[in-house]
Amino acid sequence: MLEDKNQKRTSLSDLGEFGLIEHLTKHFAVNQSSTLKSIGDDAAVLDFGNKKAVVSTDLLIEGVHFDLSYMPLKHLGYKAVVANVSDICAMNATPTQITVSIAVSNRFPLEALEELFEGITLASKLYNVDVIGGDTTSSQKGLIISITAIGEANLEDITYRNGANANDLLVVTGDVGAAYMGLQVLEREKQVFQVNPNNQPDLENYTYLIERQLKPEARKDIKELLEKLEVKPTSMIDISDGLSSEILHLCKQSGVGCNLYEEKIPVDPQLIDVCEEFNIDITTIALSGGEDYELLFTIKMEDFDKIKANPNLTVIGHMTEEKEGMHLITRATTKIPLKARGWNALQNEA
Amino acid sequence: MLEDKNQKRTSLSDLGEFGLIEHLTKHFAVNQSSTLKSIGDDAAVLDFGNKKAVVSTDLLIEGVHFDLSYMPLKHLGYKAVVANVSDICAMNATPTQITVSIAVSNRFPLEALEELFEGITLASKLYNVDVIGGDTTSSQKGLIISITAIGEANLEDITYRNGANANDLLVVTGDVGAAYMGLQVLEREKQVFQVNPNNQPDLENYTYLIERQLKPEARKDIKELLEKLEVKPTSMIDISDGLSSEILHLCKQSGVGCNLYEEKIPVDPQLIDVCEEFNIDITTIALSGGEDYELLFTIKMEDFDKIKANPNLTVIGHMTEEKEGMHLITRATTKIPLKARGWNALQNEA
């Protein structure tokens, strides 16, 4: 007997909109004390008491922001939450709630949406954010995800992009560039698969890069770490478009220049190997590859001693007077202008 | 010389994402004292002090929720804001901020997005909500709009769907059904236009219906009105899907039944005329036509005297014990079960 591969496909139209919402959202628990009312009314109700609320939103479109041929739906759901949680972390705030709206064409069976929501649920548990609302509707083409994240913070802790001063140190968490190269590996495998669908990919040498692309993490830990180190960042942003692009945002909004040192940029050893294999310049990837969801921030120079021993934090440069401009100091100590090239721009060149 | 019809088309790719966001959002002013930080950072920052925050979100897809062949972009932007503001009003809260995310395919020139944002700006000024964030990206097909609205209220004023009790009176604001018939008129004109593009439509007899469809208003006035009348609603919802569907939501979530009186349902005289012209039963339209954005709520019976003289409010029935079920009492005093048929269901039947 032939295997019925479609045995677990439930049509969305069988459920109806309200049935679908109930089915998908019934596992969302309320854990935040600030969530007074969650899903099920015209709006959710939040109580921030003396804290301030922080709000961020993102719209993700199939074929533009993700490719389902190598991005499993569960990972996509997880990553969509992470990207928004990361924006709240980049305010030096604590993420507390999210809303999730989904539009799908009728080619998606219920089981596909369940997988997506499994990833959303997993991330919301790990980051301790309540899913408090959303909207589920049909699209004419593909999958569309819109997430709004809400967080809380004391006013004095909230860190903007515009607070950097000349002589502040520029600090990055973790390492950069890996998520972009993970995407390159996956795209190469997709092309190999299209030529020979029986080919089994061997991805053992690329596990870190692929994980950074498919299952990135937001640096919710950094706010706590900086508090423990007694360091107050002066400006902060997360790395979604690429390191150089984010540095330029901080510089422009703060009215300062900067010197970034090529040799200081933290990269994973696996990234070095794979850049060699692909014959790509590693600094280009580190500067322009996006989706790392690391945090980039500035601190006062006198705080250097407090952070220098921490393996999570790397000083990669310092801010200067605005008139000095924004520069990359290469390994050969040449000073070249720093250009804003996000990973989208990079893709257009490829 | 031939007229150059394309002289004002600016390609979105000329601007780039950041340029586009800056261009479209530069006119958004901050008017709410609770808006501490608006567009321009990773997230907006809000201060609700002793008030509670209320959050709602909506995702609108071209071809599913709107048809650009008869919905001018400016009206679409206006209506998208209204639909979300209405959800906040339905919590008996005051809308204060919105985020607006847009995805467009490259067939849209800059001028089209400007029109859309003109409508968004107009509505945000009229309803006094600050546009505090959003996302602008490309889509593979059509226009996608995602809006999240935030409001504030004292905890004791917030009204849920689940607070109705047996014997409470069921009250609706304004009149219902007109927005749906406006859509029918516009769809008929579209078909006429497709047959004969030179035909000039005469829409004089349909102005109210078309305005209800293209430029609906949210009932932000009702919270204030009820306060002035010293009436505290026990449950509340807005009419986006259709009167019968919304009544059933209140009943189910409150654990009550209801009797709705056909003769009491408020309809505009123009709706009566046009239903006759289209040979459609007016009660079907009043019950199932959506997008009116009126408010539906329940009050204690003893509050009847306080509201009975108000032209904005109509008592259309009363709640009963749950076991009595949900019924429509017809003009011929027949009692028939009330069915949930939103306007989408209606369209599928047509």
ipTM rounded to 2 decimals: 0.85
For the stretch B197-242, pLDDT in tens is 877 777 888 999 999 999 999 999 999 999 999 999 999 999 998 9
CA B95 centroid distance within chain: 14
Q: Could you tell me if B91 lies within 8 Å of chain A, comparing CB atoms?
A: yes
**Token pair belonging to A300:** 């006062």
Is A339:A244 a contact under the CB 8 Å cutoff?
Answer: yes
Adjacency order of strands within the sheet including A335-337: A235-238, A295-299, A169-173, A313-321, A256-261, A326-329, A335-337
Q: Answer whether A226's CB lies under 8 Å from A90's CB.
A: no
**Residue B205 C-alpha, separation from nearest chain A C-alpha, in angstroms:** 34
Any A CB within 8 A of B154 CB: no
CATH classification code of B12-153: 3.30.1330.10
* Chain A: closest CA distance from residue B300 (Å): 21
Annotated binding site of B: 42, 56-58, 65, 87, 134-135, 161, 238, 240-241, 291, 343
Interface test with B, best of A59, A138, A220 (most B CBs within 10 A): A59
CA distance A9 to A153: 43
In 3D, which of A14, A18, A43, A10 has the Cα closest to residue B342? Answer: A18
Residues tagged in the binding site annotation of B for ATP: 134-135, 161, 240
At B57-100, the pLDDT tens digits run 999 999 989 999 888 999 999 999 999 999 999 999 999 999 99
Percent of chain B with pLDDT strictly greater than 90: 66
Give how far the C-alpha of residue A238 lies from the chain's centroid of Cα atoms, to the nearest Å.
8
Phi first, then psi, for residue B233 (nearest 5°) are -65, 150
Q: What is the mean pLDDT of residues B120-147?
A: 91
Element (H, E) at A329: strand A326-329
CB within 8 Å: B43 and A90: yes
- Inter-chain residue contact A64 with B90, CB threshold 8 Å: no
Q: What integer best gives the mean pLDDT of chain A?
A: 89
What gap in Å lies between CA A243 and CA A275, rounded to an integer?
17
Residue B7 binned pLDDT confidence (cut-offs 50, 70, 90): low
Tell me the average pLDDT across A7-36. 74
The 10s digit of each residue's pLDDT in A48-73 is 888 889 999 999 999 989 999 888 99
A-to-B residue pairs, Cβ atoms closer than 8 angstroms: 191
pLDDT band at B346 (very low <50, low <70, confident <90, very high): very low
Report pLDDT digits (tens) over B89-113: 999 999 999 999 999 988 888 888 8
- Chain B positions touching A102 (Cβ under 8 A) are 59
Q: Which residues of A touch B42 (CB under 8 A)?
A: 56, 87-88, 90-91, 161, 236-238
Q: What share of chain B is helix, strand, coil (3-state, %, to 5)?
A: 40, 25, 40
Q: What is the mean pLDDT of residues B248-263?
A: 96
| Sign, Cα dihedral of A121, A126, A129, A130 | positive
Q: B139: nearest CA in chain A?
A: A61
B175-208: string of b/e by CB count within 10 Å (b at 16+)? bbbbbbbbbbbbeebeeeeeeeeeeeeeeeebeb
The C-alpha of A143 sits at a distance from chain B's nearest C-alpha, in angstroms, of 11
Q: How far is B18 from chain A (nearest CA, A)?
A: 10
- Topology (CATH level 3) of domain A14-153: 60s Ribosomal Protein L30; Chain: A; (3.30.1330)
Which among A37, A48, A138 has CB closest to B48?
A48
Highest average pLDDT, of B131-135, B196-200, B334-338, comes from B334-338
Torsion angles phi and psi, residue A311, rounded to 5: -70, -15
In this complex, the residue of B132, B141, B160 whose CB is nearest that of residue A37 is B160
- The reply to whether B37 touches chain A by the CB within 8 Å rule is yes
A269 vs A23, residue with greater confidence: A269
Angle at B132 between CA B66 and CA A82, to 5 degrees: 85
Question: Phi-psi category of A193—alpha, beta or left, where left has phi over 0 and alpha has psi -120 to 50?
Answer: alpha
For the residues A29-54, what does the mean pLDDT come to?
Answer: 82
Vertex A30 angle, CA A24 and A32, to 5°: 140
pLDDT value for A98: 93
Portions of chain B given CATH number 3.90.650.10: 169-349
Choose the closest CB to A99 out of B138, B148, B237. B148
Alpha-carbon distances of B208 from A151, A280, B79, B179, B191, rounded to whole Å = 43, 63, 16, 9, 21
Give the start-end residues of each E strand in B3-159.
Answer: 35-37, 44-46, 52-61, 94-104, 130-138, 144-153
Task: Say whether B42 and A88 touch across the interface (CB within 8 A).
Answer: yes
Per-residue buried b or exposed e for B242-259, using 16+ beta carbons within 10 Å of the residue's own CB: bbbbbbbbbbebbebbbb
Which part of chain B is CATH 3.30.1330.10?
A: 12-153
Check the annotation: does A65 bind a ligand: yes
User: Is A291 assigned to a binding site?
Assistant: yes
Flag whether pLDDT at A343 surpasses 80: no
Rounded to a whole number of angstroms, the distance from the CA of B142 to the nearest CA of chain A is 9
CA-CA distance, A132 to A46, in Å (whole number)? 9
- Using alpha carbons, list the distances in angstroms from residue B150 to A289, B153, B225: 34, 10, 21
pLDDT of residue A29: 79
Q: Which of B66, B65, B60, B75 shows the shortest CA–CA distance to B215?
A: B75
Which amino acid type is present at position B1?
A: M
Phi-psi region of A237 (alpha: psi -120 to 50; beta: other; left: phi over 0): beta
CB-CB contact of B311 with B268 (8 Å): no
Superfamily covering domain B169-349: PurM-like C-terminal domain (3.90.650.10)
Q: What are phi and psi of B275, to 5 degrees?
A: -65, -40
Give the angle subtended at the CA of B249 by the CAs of B246 and B250, to the nearest 5°. Answer: 95
- CATH 3.30.1330.10 domain extents, chain A: 14-153
* B105 at A interface, C-beta within 8 A: no
With CA atoms as reference, report the closest residue to A173 among A53, A296, A63. A296
Q: If we measure between CA atoms, which residue out of A22, A112, A34 comes closest to residue A74?
A: A112
Q: How do residues A61-114 score in pLDDT, each as one tens digit?
A: 999 899 998 889 999 999 999 999 999 999 999 999 999 999 998 888 888 888
Q: Is there a contact between A158 and A54 (Cβ–Cβ < 8 Å)?
A: yes
Could you tell me if B186 and B213 are in contact, meaning their C-beta atoms sit under 8 angstroms apart? yes
